[in-house]
Chains A and B, each alone.
Chain A
Amino acid sequence: MIEVTNLVKDYGNHHAVKGISFTVGEGQIVGLLGPNGAGKSTTMNIMTGYISSTAGKVKIGEYDMFEQPLKAKKLIGYLPEMPPIYEEMTVEEYLNFVCSLKGIRKKKDRMENIAEVEEAVRITDVKGRLIKNLSKGYKQRVGLAQALIGNPPLLILDEPTVGLDPNQIIEIRALIKKLGEKHTIILSSHILSEVNAICDYVLIIDKGLLVAEDTPENLSEHFADKNRILLSVKGEKELIEQALEESEYIASYTVTGENEGVLDVTAETSVKEDVRDALFFEFADKKLPIVKMETETLSLEEVFLKLTGKEGEEEES
């Protein structure tokens, strides 16, 4: 459905995107993940033909965005970061205008299309109101409605849930999931749980580069090469540390806290299997009671931090 090859965008001396390539298959929901300023919006703006790239190609369906822009644009519904709404129009007028922009001429088709879209994003009850009087959440939905007009096979959504309240976020996510049954969707976000919940596939972008791409599960697994165990052990500090060093299952550990004779330790295990039973008996033999123990695999959040370099900075400081 989408083929992005070696995309580069320079603003003078500032390199916003430095060579991103990826492909998105039909029917996928892909999450574009990255910290603020990573180049997500720039990438999306190039993919939708709003701005041009300095180098590289974007192919939507069979059409090249730069050679056959009109045909390529017909396949896309785009919700930019700020919904592109005309405040002085009513919702109905606005959607009508979008219909005519997208070349839906017949009145009957328009009415049907608009009613369908309004139903889908639940704005039917505000359709007669001026957009400027709507709340942020409703404006966002009107923006989403605009992207859905004309039933384009590809939806590109730039941070679709920003500014919504928790209920609306859940609603919109459910809607996106449902849309994903019939559309190919690319959405950007810096909220990881969102991407985890909705997307089949994740692209992580940092400083204009694609740093990782995979399914959310694979990413967590791949980067969590060592299982982590959080331990709280009762006893004298020296004895516990000695036991940890002697243990064959623990590769390294850091002491994270100490109170009332209980030591909190984060340990990285040397093997992939669950070693909690073995550790329990080992410490029991040494009369060091483990009062709490849990395993932790890397969450997408940590993968993200790891990849975008935030963790490294923290450790250094």
Chain B
Amino acid sequence: MRAIYIKEMKSYFHSLSAYLFLALFLAISGVYFSVICMSYGYTDYAANIYSNITIIFIIIVPILTMRLMAEERKQKTDQLLLTSPVRVTGIILGKYLAVLTLLLGAVVITFLQAAVLSMYGDVNWLTVLTGGLGYFLVGASLLAIGLFISSITESQMIAAGISFGVVLLCMLLPNLSDIVPGRARYTYIVCGIVIVLLAWFFYEETKSWKAGVITMVLGAAVLGLFAWRTPELFDNGLSKIIDWFSIMDRFNDFCSGILNASSIIYYLSFIAVFIFLSIQTIEKRRWN
């Protein structure tokens, strides 16, 4: 893991991507900082800056994650990694920690800005720290998604494109949850579609129609059980589901200085799931 970590850090700084990332981050956060804090004189750094600069993730997540696994596969260097006495988990974690280190650098930059601000006015450091933590967790979650996307394709461009789309979608989800129809039957329809897709996925993976049928029957049974026992669950179900997936929603608490254990656990499990999926993707390819 250490070997991979050091190699990734070196390669970020040997290529343009680390500098591009830091430059972009400095430029965009600097614009917000100078306009909102310096010109308008707002001293609440967390509420005004952190919530605005999440927009940067749309660009930097693809830049930082696109090459992580895709490039290795394309250049066939994964043959070196996977035939070395190293675990796949170590490879993925090493890469992920490297990209997290860069993100940490970005958070440090925001602290510097807050420090500058504190020379001219009262800065609530507690909210800056919790906001910084929240910003880091949101970034870490999105980077984990990016890493996973990079591990499913061997083209950097495709990885970047999909990451861009997914991060954008994550940004828009909170707005989406207000628009979706609230009636229970729409929830049933969507759940039905998901079950069919799952069944099709299992059929494709195992090439046996039995697996598909079993998935379908099981899914329908679970859905039926919930519909029978707790029908109220399905009212406004769609926006509930969307909220559950929405990374940005929980972030606002952090910016107002609220440290919510459940939110932290939410982010950590989100990260864990995508790290796990990345590892499984690599493992699965070997077993294909």
Whether A and B are associated in the same complex: the answer reads yes
A interface vs B, CB < 8 Å? 11-12, 45, 48-52, 70-71, 73-74, 76, 78, 80, 82, 84-89, 93, 97-98, 100-103, 146
Q: Which of B61-119 contact A (CB under 8 A)?
A: 75-87
**Distance (whole angstroms) from the CB of A314 to the closest CB of chain B:** 35
Q: Could you say which of B3-11, B47-55, B121-129, B238-246 contacts chain A?
A: B3-11
Q: Given the known A-B contacts A52-B286, A86-B11, are A98 and B83 also in contact in the complex, defined by CB atoms under 8 Å?
A: no
Residues from chain B with Cβ under 8 Å of A45 in the complex: 79
**From B3, B75, B80, B288, contact of A100 by CB (8 A):** B3
**By the criterion CB–CB under 8 Å, are A84 and B3 in contact?**
no
**By the criterion CB–CB under 8 Å, are A101 and B11 in contact?**
no
**By the criterion CB–CB under 8 Å, are A100 and B2 in contact?**
yes
Encoded as 1 (CB less than 8 Å from any A CB) or 0, chain B from 1 to 35 comes to: 01110110011001100000000000000000000
List of 10 A-B pairs having minimum Cβ-Cβ separation, nearest first? A100-B3, A84-B80, A101-B84, A48-B83, A73-B85, A84-B77, A80-B79, A74-B85, A70-B85, A84-B79
**By the criterion CB–CB under 8 Å, are A88 and B14 in contact?**
yes
Give A82 to B72 CA distance when docked, in angstroms.
Answer: 13
**From B3, B14, B82, B286, contact of A97 by CB (8 A):** B3
Give A11 to B287 CA distance when docked, in angstroms.
Answer: 10
* Contact size range, B: 20 to 34
**From A11, A87, A103, A146, contact of B85 by CB (8 A):** A103
**By the criterion CB–CB under 8 Å, are B75 and A87 in contact?**
yes
Q: Which of B128-154 contact A (CB under 8 A)?
A: none
Residues from chain A with Cβ under 8 Å of B2 in the complex: 100
Can you identify 19 A-B contacts, CB atoms within 8 angstroms? A45-B79, A49-B83, A51-B286, A52-B286, A73-B83, A73-B84, A74-B85, A84-B75, A84-B80, A88-B14, A88-B15, A89-B10, A97-B3, A97-B6, A100-B3, A100-B6, A101-B3, A101-B4, A101-B84
Residues from chain A with Cβ under 8 Å of B82 in the complex: 49-50
**By the criterion CB–CB under 8 Å, are A11 and B288 in contact?**
yes
**Distance (whole angstroms) from the CB of B49 to the closest CB of chain A:** 35
Query: Nearest residue in A to B76 (C-beta to C-beta)?
Result: A82
Query: Nearest residue in A to B15 (C-beta to C-beta)?
Result: A88
Q: Given the known A-B contacts A50-B286, A86-B11, A102-B85, are A146 and B80 also in contact in the complex, defined by CB atoms under 8 Å?
A: yes
Residues from chain B with Cβ under 8 Å of A84 in the complex: 75-80
**By the criterion CB–CB under 8 Å, are A78 and B3 in contact?**
no
**By the criterion CB–CB under 8 Å, are B10 and A93 in contact?**
yes
Give A12 to B81 CA distance when docked, in angstroms.
Answer: 25
**By the criterion CB–CB under 8 Å, are B288 and A80 in contact?**
no
B interface vs A, CB < 8 Å? 2-4, 6-7, 10-11, 14-15, 75-87, 207, 286-288
**By the criterion CB–CB under 8 Å, are B87 and A70 in contact?**
yes
**By the criterion CB–CB under 8 Å, are A86 and B77 in contact?**
yes
Residues from chain B with Cβ under 8 Å of A73 in the complex: 83-85
Residues from chain B with Cβ under 8 Å of A52 in the complex: 286-287
**From B15, B81, B207, contact of A101 by CB (8 A):** B81
Residues from chain B with Cβ under 8 Å of A88 in the complex: 11, 14-15
Residues from chain A with Cβ under 8 Å of B288 in the complex: 11, 51
Query: Nearest residue in B to A158 (C-beta to C-beta)?
Result: B79
Query: Nearest residue in B to A85 (C-beta to C-beta)?
Result: B77
Residues from chain A with Cβ under 8 Å of B14 in the complex: 88-89
Output the residue of B10, B75, B84, B207 with the most chain A CB within 10 A: B84
**By the criterion CB–CB under 8 Å, are B84 and A102 in contact?**
yes
Residues from chain B with Cβ under 8 Å of A86 in the complex: 7, 11, 75, 77
**Distance (whole angstroms) from the CB of A167 to the closest CB of chain B:** 26
**Distance (whole angstroms) from the CB of B245 to the closest CB of chain A:** 33
Query: Nearest residue in A to B7 (C-beta to C-beta)?
Result: A97
Give A170 to B191 CA distance when docked, in angstroms.
Answer: 66
**By the criterion CB–CB under 8 Å, are B77 and A76 in contact?**
no
**By the criterion CB–CB under 8 Å, are A78 and B85 in contact?**
no
Query: Nearest residue in B to A99 (C-beta to C-beta)?
Result: B3
Residues from chain A with Cβ under 8 Å of B10 in the complex: 89, 93
Give A50 to B286 CA distance when docked, in angstroms.
Answer: 7
Give A80 to B76 CA distance when docked, in angstroms.
Answer: 9
**Distance (whole angstroms) from the CB of B77 to the closest CB of chain A:** 4
Residues from chain A with Cβ under 8 Å of B87 in the complex: 70
Query: Nearest residue in B to A74 (C-beta to C-beta)?
Result: B85
**By the criterion CB–CB under 8 Å, are B86 and A101 in contact?**
yes
Give A76 to B82 CA distance when docked, in angstroms.
Answer: 12
Residues from chain B with Cβ under 8 Å of A98 in the complex: 80, 84
Query: Nearest residue in A to B283 (C-beta to C-beta)?
Result: A52
Residues from chain A with Cβ under 8 Å of B75 in the complex: 84-87
Residues from chain A with Cβ under 8 Å of B76 in the complex: 80, 82, 84
Give A70 to B86 CA distance when docked, in angstroms.
Answer: 7
**By the criterion CB–CB under 8 Å, are A50 and B6 in contact?**
no
Give A144 to B76 CA distance when docked, in angstroms.
Answer: 15
Residues from chain B with Cβ under 8 Å of A78 in the complex: 79-80, 83
Residues from chain B with Cβ under 8 Å of A49 in the complex: 82-83
- A50-B82, A80-B79, A85-B75 are known; give 14 further A-B pairs, CB within 8 A: A11-B288, A49-B82, A70-B86, A78-B79, A78-B80, A78-B83, A80-B76, A82-B76, A86-B7, A86-B75, A97-B3, A101-B80, A101-B86, A103-B85
